[in-house]
Structure 1
Amino acid sequence: MAVPTSQGPLPLRLDRAKAPCTVQSFVHLARHRFYDRTVCHRLTAYPTLKVLQCGDPTGTGEGGPGYQYKDELPVDLPPAPSDPTGVRRLYGRGVLAMANAGPNTNGSQFFVVYGDSALRPNYTVFGTVGAAGLKTLDKIAAGGIEPTTQDPAPVDGIPVLRTELLGVRPSCRP
């Protein structure tokens, strides 16, 4: 799927075998231009969570398409090496997954992993980011997170480099 952004390309490879409902919903929203001109509203830089979150039409982290659907949780993620309990799983660099607000609350928000992250396996993995997209993610992450008066050195917040999805379209190319 072609995902041009204001910071560069973010080509995605969708995995219908692992997450058929998620891919169907994502493609449906893309075809109906739901993602066009939306911003990626969240960047994290925790040692064990490095993601860029996008897909909210309001840009606040609260918006969605007006519907929710069931999780299609991953069963093949390896344990996160940083988690001695074995509960967290490794969402590796380049993974594309759905953001959610709890069980079965998938909508339109998704995240792309720019650095290996240790998370509970509560997020539907539905694809990967192509090589050009990893370069774009690195550029966005290197820009940092907007400081606030409450947090002059944040590890979670709005990316300094405004990243706008310019026209998400299904394509045959990765």
Structure 2
Amino acid sequence: MLHTALRVTVGAALAAGLAAMTYGQAAPRLLPAASQPPHATPIPTAEPGKCQFLDNTEQGAKNVGTPPVDPPYTSTVEATLKTNLGDITLSLDGKKAPCTVDSFAYLAGKDFFDNTNCHRLTTGALKVLQCGDPTGTGAGGPAYRYGTENLPTAKSGAQTAEYGKGTLAMANAGPDTNGSQFFMVYGDSELPPNYTVFGKITGGMDVLEQVAKAGSDNANGEGDGAPKKKVTIQDVTIAGR
């Protein structure tokens, strides 16, 4: 949980990043990214071109099986988030983040995201909407986890990287704990280079901007909490499926 108000400084963006893009393992509060769960041992090295998805059932997560070890997308694939406020279209990068796109498409095919609420909005130095938790609490996910991919490069001499407007990336609770929660960046932001970037927003930015304009309930600090304007993902479709 973020205990202090966000301030428009690089230092505040770093602090916000450590809390805002993580999710809890057993409680609805958000944990610092540095607080890696004890069970989250590193993902073993996979065979080239293969993905590994490790059991995560001890979280009491939603079990829909596991994605295929052979990623079905190794180039760009389009996806659409149908929400109560309008469609958000995405371009998923299967070349740079094949296992993440594999997981996202698999969960979409299992209707995992259907009728789920985006549970967190930040409107300070960090400008993101976080979604993908079937419980809507920040603590939920699938009964598996997988490793990071396509991490951005930190700025020279800094501990942060730029996550530009339109970035689509995975939230996590520490190294190799990717699950289902993801975040969409609606304004240029800086975060630690710890979050898998797996695509970009290609349409529907106005949906995110109207949510941001309405603000959050500040449950986690000024400009940080559940969005006041409710965002419900009704369906996720993957082109060609």
Q: TM-score range by the shorter chain?
A: 0.7 to 0.9
2:213 alignment partner in structure 1: 142
- CA–CA distance in structure 2, aligned partners of residues 72 and 57 of structure 1: 23
Q: 1:6 aligns with which of 84, 93, 107?
A: 84
1:65 aligns with 2:142: yes
Alignment map for 1:95-106 (pairs within 5 Å) = 95-106=167-178
1:35 alignment partner in structure 2: 113
Alignment map for 1:1-174 (pairs within 5 Å) = 1-47=79-125, 49-75=126-152, 77=153, 79=155, 85-130=157-202, 132-147=203-218, 154-171=222-239
User: Relative to 1, partners in 2 of residues 1:94 and 1:9: Cα closer, same or farther, differing over 3 Å?
Assistant: same
**Greater C-alpha Rg:** 2
- CA–CA distance in structure 2, aligned partners of residues 73 and 101 of structure 1: 17
Contact 2:80 2:89 in 1 (8 A): yes
- CA–CA distance in structure 2, aligned partners of residues 94 and 78 of structure 1: 18
- CA–CA distance in structure 2, aligned partners of residues 147 and 119 of structure 1: 20
Structure 1 stretches (4+) deviating beyond 4 angstroms?
none
Percent identity of equivalent pairs: 50
Distance apart, 1:78 and its partner CA: 6.6
- CA–CA distance in structure 1, aligned partners of residues 96 and 145 of structure 2: 18
- CA–CA distance in structure 2, aligned partners of residues 51 and 92 of structure 1: 10
- Gaps (5+ residues) in structure 1? none
For 1:78-135, what per-residue CA distance to the aligned partner results, in whole angstroms no more than 9, with x for missing partners? Answer: 73xxxx84220000000000000000000000000011110111000000001x3211
Distance apart, 1:46 and its partner CA: 2.0
- CA–CA distance in structure 2, aligned partners of residues 78 and 8 of structure 1: 34
Contact 1:73 1:121 in 2 (8 A): no
* Secondary structure of the structure 2 residue equivalent to 1:115: coil
Kindly report the root-mean-square deviation, in angstroms, between the aligned alpha carbons of the 2 structures.
Answer: 1.7
User: Relative to 1, partners in 2 of residues 1:125 and 1:147: Cα closer, same or farther, differing over 3 Å?
Assistant: closer
- CA–CA distance in structure 2, aligned partners of residues 53 and 147 of structure 1: 15
- Gaps (5+ residues) in structure 2? 1-78
Contact 2:154 2:193 in 1 (8 A): no
Q: Which moved more, 1:106-115 or 1:138-147?
A: 138-147
Contact 1:3 1:168 in 2 (8 A): yes
For 1:36-90, what per-residue CA distance to the aligned partner results, in whole angstroms no more than 9, with x for missing partners? Answer: 000000000122x110000000000000011100111424x473xxxx8422000
- CA–CA distance in structure 2, aligned partners of residues 7 and 78 of structure 1: 34
2:67 alignment partner in structure 1: none
Q: Which amino acid aligns with 1:145?
A: S
Number of equivalent positions: 162
For 1:132-151, what per-residue CA distance to the aligned partner results, in whole angstroms no more than 9, with x for missing partners? Answer: 32111111101111255x96
